[in-house]
Structure 1
Amino acid sequence: MIRKVILCILLVLMFPADGLIAEESSALQELTELSDTVFQLTRQSQYDEAVQILHYFEERLKAAERDGTEDVMTGSEIRQVSLAHHDMLKSLESEETEKKVKFKAAAQFRMLMDAIESDHDPLWGSLKKPIMDSFRSLKADIQKEDNLTFREQWNHFLSLYDTIYPSLTIDISPKQLRSVSNHIEVVEHRDFQQMTESSKLERLTLLEKDLEDVFNQVEEDDADPSLLWVILTTGSIILSTLTYVGFRKYKAEGDRHKKREKDWPK
């Protein structure tokens, strides 16, 4: 009898706490799932539907804030999500915004929410291979003195890095991101073209090492390859044109604010 009483007391004490944790986790999971829906709709060019989901996302985010989502999202993360939501909404509602820009904003928004929710295996980690492989081409272009191809490959690299940058501000320290940014700025500067071949290769190697360190902080994500597949098979959507401008914008926002879904829809 005494055992039963003790068991009942333990159950009463345990369930409210478990319920609270589940509620907080559920709120963040719901927001992440909504960001995935926005991504999928944007991918299919269903912009009106994506806008409706974004409006609902805003309502759920405000409700989560009132209910104390700060326990699972920091104040800076909430502000960053709100900013990304605003940019995403503005992009989708504008008829003048190109399809590739809308798609990229959706991919960034999706990966940002995943970075906040995931403790490991973030979606942005799935872009390690194409980003790191780009250095092989960049170094080859320098050795061949092919400046035109180098610039095209460099723009491609920047497009990929820009895509994951908002998520990096969640998972990677500001110090590491500043180091990567400094190396990028050196290559972007016009004086880079005046350097010797060995100096150029040295600069690229430093950038490559810093990025390798960034990716090594997370386990490789082999469970959610579809985002990588979508990005890489849309070629022109994120190739060349989406370059350093976007990176600078998100870098500025990241400095200012400082801070999986398990089954990715196929």
Structure 2
Amino acid sequence: MIRKVILCMLIGLAFPAGALKAGGDSAALQELNELSDTVFQLTRQAQYEEAVQILHYFEDRLKAAEHGGAEDVMTGAQIRQVDLGYRDVLKSLESEGTEQKDKLKAAAQFRMLMDAIESDHDPLWGSLKKPIMNSFKALKADVQKDDSLTFQEEWNHFLSLYDTIYPSLMIDVSPKQLKSVSSHIEVVEDGGFQQMTESSKLERLTMLEKDLEDVFNQVEEDDADPSLLWVILTTGSIILSTLTYVGFRKYKAEGDRRRKRENDWPK
């Protein structure tokens, strides 16, 4: 009980009521972004109850922004992405059956999403260029050695990293680029990939590698929070299950539904 009282006092001091309106649009985004960072840091310290309380406060501040004219703070599409990310991390933190590494990944994913919305340049997701692009050197080596088991492990590692930044990419990268990347990923995911010739596999991986290189080249190198990068890399190296792709497909499906609604809306 004492911890809750202290936490509420700290919230009040760090994020005074009315800051969204008083500080303008940039202050609103900054506050929401800082709250997401607080959630991440508390999750990293395994203080899940406190992180959940901050998330509830985040929801209150987001609603305050919506009532005050959220379109001046975030677009409707961004608000839907934030709501989706918020629900995912809240569900993860509140679930006793969710492993710590998965809670960390959800918190990091949410943190990077909010940073992508607030930042005009140097987003946190850009800091994962090196580990993601380095995956292709190992993947191609596995193909040349015809080592399908090691290839699958390295591929799942790549998917885990890409899954972590995918919500952020939906904010900063064009749907056309994401669709191209997704199409290459789906080919590798298909069971027929392993039946391809070595040259065809390498060609497909090279196409995916080039598309991702183009995505990362849109942002400048960023000196990201080393603690965040460490968590993402650690989480990515631990998750060696094809289930990591589920999150990526979920966000892709949400993006496809959003774009369809926007295309169907009367002009």
- Structure 2 residue 211 is matched with structure 1 residue 210: yes
Q: Distance in 1 between matches of 2:234 and 2:182?
A: 27
| Amino acid corresponding to residue 231 of structure 1 in structure 2 | I
Match of 1:56 in 2: 57
Correspondence 1:35-184 to 2 at 5 A = 35-184=36-185
Whether the 8 Å CA contact 1:39–1:106 is kept in 2: the answer is yes
Whether the 8 Å CA contact 2:29–2:118 is kept in 1: the answer is yes
Larger-Rg structure: 1
Q: Distance in 1 between matches of 2:53 and 2:210?
A: 42
Deviation at 1:222, TM superposition (A): 2.2
Q: CA RMSD in A?
A: 1.9
| Amino acid corresponding to residue 197 of structure 2 in structure 1 | T
Structure 2 alignment gaps of length 5 or more:
1-19, 263-267
Q: TM-score if structure 1 supplies the norm length?
A: 0.86
- Which one scores higher on RCO, CA 8 angstroms, separation ≥ 6? 1
Q: Distance in 1 between matches of 2:249 and 2:147?
A: 26
| Amino acid corresponding to residue 232 of structure 2 in structure 1 | I
Q: How many residues align?
A: 241
SS of residue paired to 2:210: helix
Q: Distance in 2 between matches of 1:43 and 1:155?
A: 23
After the TM superposition, which parts of structure 1 deviate over 6 Å for at least 4 consecutive aligned residues? none
* Greater shift in the superposed pair: 182-191 or 246-255: 246-255
Q: Distance in 1 between matches of 2:188 and 2:134?
A: 17
Q: TM-score if structure 2 supplies the norm length?
A: 0.85
Structure 1 alignment gaps of length 5 or more:
1-18, 260-266
Structure 1 residues 156-176: Cα deviation after superposition (integer angstroms, max 9, x where no partner): 000000000000000000110
Q: Distance in 2 between matches of 1:236 and 1:153?
A: 9
Whether the 8 Å CA contact 2:126–2:216 is kept in 1: the answer is yes
Q: Distance in 2 between matches of 1:87 and 1:171?
A: 20
Match of 1:255 in 2: 256
Whether the 8 Å CA contact 1:231–1:238 is kept in 2: the answer is no
Q: Distance in 2 between matches of 1:237 and 1:64?
A: 37
Match of 1:4 in 2: none
Deviation at 1:110, TM superposition (A): 0.3
Structure 1 residues 177-224: Cα deviation after superposition (integer angstroms, max 9, x where no partner): 000000000001111011000000000000000000000011111253
Whether the 8 Å CA contact 2:161–2:233 is kept in 1: the answer is no
Q: Distance in 1 between matches of 2:182 and 2:85?
A: 21
Deviation at 1:255, TM superposition (A): 2.1
| Amino acid corresponding to residue 178 of structure 1 in structure 2 | K
| Amino acid corresponding to residue 164 of structure 2 in structure 1 | T
Whether the 8 Å CA contact 2:112–2:165 is kept in 1: the answer is yes
Pair 1:76–1:46, CA change in 2 (3 A): same
SS of residue paired to 2:46: coil
Structure 1 residues 24-70: Cα deviation after superposition (integer angstroms, max 9, x where no partner): 11111000000000011111111100000000000000001111231
Q: Distance in 2 between matches of 1:200 and 1:121?
A: 33
Q: Distance in 1 between matches of 2:22 and 2:56?
A: 26
Deviation at 1:242, TM superposition (A): 5.2
Pair 1:180–1:131, CA change in 2 (3 A): same
Q: Identity of paired residues, percent?
A: 82
